[in-house]
Structure 1
Amino acid sequence: MARLPRFALPGYPQHVIQRGNDRRRILLDEDDARHLWELLTVAAARHECAVHAYVLMPDHYHLLLTPSGEDGVGRMMQYVGREHARYFNRRYERAGTLWEGRYRATLLDPQQWLLACCRAIEDNPVRASLVDDPAAYRWSSHAANAGGGDDGLITPHPAYLRLGRSRRARQAAYAAQWAEPLAEAQLARIHDATNKAWVLGDETFCQAIEDRINRRAKPRPRGGDRRSAAYRLATGRAE
């Protein structure tokens, strides 16, 4: 199957995942994580991408970011991928590719999905059993979004700013979302859309995106399973 073209719509947030080749580690210690964070901070500013949430995991990383230009995300990811691979290979005296290949990304409706996507990203260390609480993981945006920490990589999105009038109120409202776990159905939607490069949003939002770009925003609806009893019954083809 041919790869779908990248999303190139300035002003719309995207969830981005980049994995290590064969799921191998891209971070072996704190110095590696700091180096990747610094690269992301430089690249986000240079290519005008506002990062709203992130997590740096041992074998992959997630970003939720909004580009100001059409090629901002691609240029940012290319720069970070090249420079971190160069650093990693030099430090560990290795050769060859560090990354799985193309980064995966989905464009999303910020009104419906931005805060849920932030939670999915910042909960990665908990789901991976690295920590019991996202606040205990150093290399994520959770401290900035929920705990009041300063993070030079983070730019709040308007959907986050609407959580409260003051910084403290926004952080409290954001942290309160962790009282209940993110629904598995929401998590599955986020993962599926990102891995398959489909827009994350309802029918109206997807149609609006399709009207602006030269590609489908969602998969075509599939027909019923022609071998299933339910399909044969529904179509009058029961044997």
Structure 2
Amino acid sequence: MARHPRLALPGYPHHVIQRGNNRQPIVLDEADRKMLYSLWLEESQRHKVAVNAYVLLDNHFHMLLTPPSDEAMSLMMQSVGRSYVRYFNNRHSRSGTLWEGRYKSSVIDSEAYLLTCMAYIDLNPVRAGVAESAEDFNWSSYKHLIGQKIDKLVTPHAHYWGLGNTPFSREAAYAEFVAGGLSASIEKDLTESVLKSRVVGRPEFLKSLQKTTQRPILPKKAGRPFKKPL
């Protein structure tokens, strides 16, 4: 069966996840992390894809990407994937696939869910049990967004800039937002949406997107389809 093309819309943020095959590690040490990070930086700049947030764990990563064109995000991810697998296999004397299939992505309604998705990404190490707080983890966008370091990879989204009129006020507001945590239902919805490539947004947002693409976006009605009687 032919695979459906991913829904990729220029100018909209996309929540992206890619896992290691069979949940196996995709990074084994700091050298691997630095290599993958450098490829993200190089290819995001090459294809002009804004990285609004990211987190890199041992066996998977999340990113929030805003592409300038339909194909930019796919080109970036494909190039990073190929280059990193060659590096990883050569360095660790292995062969075969590294990724669990293609990366998965979902379009995000920035008006309603942008900051929530950013917090979801930055809190991933806490949910995974590898850090007590987002601030304790080094391989994510969080420290840049709260002003603790400069991260060349991160391009804050316009809705992040809307958190305050000064860098300090924006950083403090985002730190407070993340400290408030996310409900279990929101976490589940964001997880399932990216794994199933569903759009995350308000009903009016889904309706407006449906007008721009032939791909089904609106949720299907429950039950069997209606058939006219013979």
TM-score where L is the length of structure 1: 0.90
State the partner residue of 2:183: 183
Alignment of structure 1 residues 200-211 onto 2, 5 Å:
200-211=200-211
**CA pair 8-144 structure 1, distance change in 2 beyond 3 A:** same
The residue aligned with 1:8 is 8
Shift of 1:181: 1.9
Unaligned runs of 5+ in 2: 225-230
SS where residue 111 of structure 1 aligns?
Answer: helix
Distance 1:203 1:132 in 2: 35
Cα distance in 1, alignment partners of residues 218 and 78 from structure 2: 26
**How does 1:55-70 map onto structure 2 within 5 Å?**
55-70=55-70
For 1:126, the equivalent position in structure 2 comes to: 126
Q: Is the 2:123–2:178 contact (alpha carbons within 8 Å) kept by the matching residues of 1?
A: no
SS in 1 for 2:211: helix
Determine if contact 2:27/2:33 at 8 Å carries over to the other structure. yes
TM superposition shift of 1:69 = 1.2
Partner of 1:223: 223
Q: Specify the alignment match of 2:103 in structure 1.
A: 103
Structure 1 unaligned residues grouped into runs of 5+: 225-239
* Code of the aligned partner of 1:177: F
Question: RMSD over aligned Cα, in angstroms?
Answer: 1.3
C-alpha distance in 2 between matches for 1:145 and 1:3: 36
Deviation, 1:147, is 3.3
User: What is the identity percentage for the equivalent residue pairs of Structure 1 and Structure 2?
Assistant: 43
Matched, 1:116 2:116: yes
Deviation at 1:59, TM superposition (A): 0.4
The 5-angstrom pairing of residues 77-156 of structure 1 reads 77-156=77-156
* Matched residue SS, 1:116: helix
In our comparison, the structure showing a higher alpha carbon Rg is 1
Moved over 6 A (4+): none
| Cross-structure match for 2:74 | 74
* Cα separation, 1, equivalents of 2:123 and 2:148: 18
What does residue range 159-170 of structure 1 map to in structure 2 within 5 Å? 159-170=159-170
| Aligned residues between the structures | 224
